[in-house]
Chains A and B, each alone.
Chain A
Amino acid sequence: MSDSMSRATKSVVTSAADEPFAATVDTNPPKLGVRNLTHRFMIGSPPSPLTVLQDIDVSIARGQFVCIIGESGCGKSTLLRMMAGLLTPSEGQVMHDGKPVNGVHHELGFVFQQDAVFPWLTVEKNVEYGPKSRGIAKAEREKLVAHWCESVGLTSFRKAYPKELSGGMRKRVDLARAYANGPDVLLMDEPFAALDVQTKGVMQEAVLQLWSATGKTVVFVTHDLDEAVFLSDVVIVLASRPGRVHAIVRNPLGRPRVEATRVSDEFAAAKRTLWNAMQDARKAGAIK
């Protein structure tokens, strides 16, 4: 694909992405806004600054399912950690409901790539951890635990320790724990990267169910194109070295999305659109 053609694609889809959301969000600040964010790490000896993210400016509307996709090392996880307040950017800021994010906050839930379920707590104690941290009364916590264990299909494993569960089940615990804390936005950092293909597919459907049941905004980092196509409303494509927004692509794939969606022509077409944008991003990264 020629450069001019992909650039044209980018501008077209970007404006297409802006329109449907602009109508609903117009007057309110975006659910999550990244403003002129630049980040540098000090690396090597003697230490010299490396720009990992440059001039990131993104608005995420309430209730959207946004995937951030890019090559390994493009800074997508770093960007997500900044959205969560786990990292502070060198320049610029992240806004949640128009207020700057300063450090972690329980309204910004996070699901990690690694296994982050506390191994010393049972499933139900893990799910209860967030509400208990926030001082929610025992009766209310019990309801939350029951509801969210049920939502991810772990009711019969409530008393089990994580070591007794499979990798996929532990991810369910992780999801239930994040949702049980009632966050406003869920930030997921390649949560299913370590799972086998089949489990991954099942978990993607689980995450879509949670998303449509709660209507909570989700920002989902992945390097897996199929995953991004299956899950997202909007895909933010990052280019590498330094990480920057290459394109914001509206995913044309309709909903609801089920198992069969993955083999539909519509899915293939949506994937092609995204693939083109990513190829373009790769070239832009390589030239730099």
Chain B
Amino acid sequence: MMRRLFSPAVAVGALSLAALVGVYWLLALRPGTNAALVPVPPKILAAFAEEIANGNLPTNMLASIQRVLIGFFIGAALALILGAMAGWFKWWGWILNPIIDAIRPIPALAYIPLVIVWVGIGEPSRLIIIALAVFKPCVVNARAGMQEVAQIYVDAARTLGASKWRVFTTVAIPSAIPYFIAGLRTGVSTGFLALVAAELIAAPSGLGFMIQNAGQYFRTDITIVGIIVIGVLGALLDQGASRAGRALTKWSDARKVQ
């Protein structure tokens, strides 16, 4: 599905981004602004090139991507399994629902002090924080999806002789997949949030470390490069999740957005 390069949507989107950069540029050029702390766009581009050339940016990007992917898979896998069980099987619901509902209002970042004390400031604690952040939206959506499974499909499967387990795997889970995808997409953004937060605490590498470190040396140009890279990476991951979701739900006649 190739979208034409100069479609109105792309053109307007590019103009809108260009306007944002333009406004920033004007503010940076305002008299009295400290040019060293509010770098103009060409300076940011130069910092970008510099960070690629000296290898800092690729190293930190890789560290962050690896971290967020591992944390994401741990958190998402646990969440989908537990959420699906809680939303489908009565007993699992009785066991898991109070726990899910109890952790629901707690922001994952609130666990940071506890995780640091218990697990230390090494890599595992960062993965735990990311996994926790991904877990919450995924588990809530997975459970909701299983609770919304249309009774008609369950009845149809049962009259065709499907066992309870087969109804779970071949009816409940497929029909809840759109919810799973919605949870995973929210999980990607909360995971990125947690990634940066986790890397701000004594991480030896990563984009969070990079922007923090640059900030300490007043290299705001590098900090801005880091922020933009985080944004682009997050958008790419979200697109990936959305594409995977569409591939899995190509049977759905729900309206396609984007």
Q: Report which A residues bind B (CB closer than 8 A).
A: 84, 86, 104-106, 108-110, 112, 114-116, 118-121, 129-130, 133-134, 161-163, 177-178, 181
Contacts and interface: CB of A to CB of B under 8 A. Distances in A.
Given A120-B251, A121-B251, A163-B252, A112 B161 contact: no
A130 B162 CA distance: 7
A106 B166 CA distance: 14
Contacts of A106: 159-161
Contact of A130 (B152, B160, B253): B160
A271 to B, nearest CB: 32
B251 A86 contact: no
Which of B160, B175, B252 gathers the greatest number of chain A CB atoms within 10 Å?
B160
A118 B156 contact: yes
Interface string B224-258: 00000000000000000000000001111100000
B160 to A, nearest CB: 4
Contacts of B177: 120
Contact of A181 (B155, B160, B170): B160
B155 A133 contact: no
Nearest to B155: A86
Contacts of A134: 161
Contacts of A86: 155, 158-159
Contact of A116 (B152, B170, B251): B152
19 contacts: A86-B155, A106-B160, A106-B161, A109-B160, A110-B155, A110-B159, A112-B155, A115-B152, A118-B153, A118-B156, A119-B252, A120-B174, A120-B177, A120-B252, A129-B170, A133-B157, A133-B162, A134-B161, A177-B160
B159 A161 contact: no
B163 interface: yes
Given A112-B152, A133-B162, A120 B253 contact: no
Contacts of B162: 129, 133
A163 B161 contact: no
Nearest to A119: B251
Contacts of B253: 119, 163
Interface in B142-169: 152-153, 155-163, 166
A190 to B, nearest CB: 13
Nearest to A130: B160
B101 to A, nearest CB: 26
B153 A116 contact: yes
Contacts of A108: 159
B171 interface: yes
A110 B160 CA distance: 8
A109 B170 CA distance: 19
Nearest to A113: B152
B251 A84 contact: no
Contacts of A121: 174, 251
Given A120-B177, A133-B161, A133-B162, 8 more contacts: A86-B158, A104-B161, A106-B159, A116-B155, A118-B156, A119-B175, A133-B157, A181-B161
A112 B156 contact: yes
A130 B171 CA distance: 13
Contacts of A162: 251
Contacts of B159: 84, 86, 104, 106, 108-110
With a 10 A CB-CB cut-off, give which of B158, B161, B170, B175 has the most chain A CB atoms. Answer: B161
A118 B169 CA distance: 13
B178 to A, nearest CB: 10
Given A161-B250, A163-B251, A118 B171 contact: yes
Given A118-B171, A133-B162, A133-B166, A110 B156 contact: yes
Contacts of A116: 152-153, 155-156
Nearest to B252: A119
Nearest to A81: B155
B86 to A, nearest CB: 22
Contacts of B251: 119-121, 161-163
Contacts of B152: 112, 114-116
A192 to B, nearest CB: 16
